């Protein structure tokens, strides 16, 4: 079974923030509002099939920095292998509207990813990294630095930038299918 985890923060105030890029895309893919809740995992989950393979989407209801708690619980309970874990998250090193797929890479300073790596004791899982940084007038990614990063990822997308995230739905689903 594949476990697909979109990272983000719970609550209405974070719903359209850059940090919730993964959750935004998965909400578009799943298109359901009746997710089940696991109190033990402190997460919402939705079971389905993709390409005839069993898949479980898991949205942790912890804040980003504690995402590993829910992932670790389900990882162990369902005996998920590391190659069957797909984490979808924001990446400030990529421009809005772009994404990258990686496997077996470090956290690159992303606290949610660091929490997962520490909780399951491996970095051997797939990541679909969603770009959230604007480009400057020269077309270069304008990455926030130092203390700006925390404030930056907790700000809402503009309407135009939000749409650039939503339209990645099909491409992200194609990447999930390739992994599966």
Q: Please identify every residue annotated as catalytic.
A: 19
| Rounded CA separation 4/151 (Å) | 27
Work out the angle between the directed axes of helices 169-179 and 21-30 (0-180°, nearest 10): 80
Work out the angle between the directed axes of helices 21-30 and 159-166 (0-180°, nearest 10): 60
| Rounded CA separation 123/107 (Å) | 8
3-state secondary structure at position 109: coil
């Amino acid at each position: 079974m594949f476990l697909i985890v979109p990272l983000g923060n719970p609550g209405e105030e974070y719903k359209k923030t850059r940090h919730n890029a993964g959750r935004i895309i998965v909400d578009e893919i799943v298109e359901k509002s009746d997710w089940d809740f696991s109190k033990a995992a402190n997460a919402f989950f939705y079971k389905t099939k993709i390409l005839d393979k069993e898949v479980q989407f898991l949205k942790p209801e912890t804040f980003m920095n504690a995402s590993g708690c829910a992932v670790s619980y389900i990882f162990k309970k369902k005996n998920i292998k590391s190659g069957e874990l797909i984490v979808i998250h924001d990446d400030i090193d990529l421009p809005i509207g772009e994404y990258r797929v990686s496997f077996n890479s470090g956290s690159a300073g992303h606290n949610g990813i660091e929490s997962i790596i520490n909780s399951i004791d491996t970095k051997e899982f797939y990541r679909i990294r969603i770009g959230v940084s604007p480009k400057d007038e020269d077309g270069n990614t304008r990455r926030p630095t130092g203390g700006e990063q925390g404030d930056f990822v907790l700000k809402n997308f503009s309407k135009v930038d939000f749409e650039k995230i939503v339209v990645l739905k099909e491409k992200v689903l194609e990447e999930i299918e390739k992994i599966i």
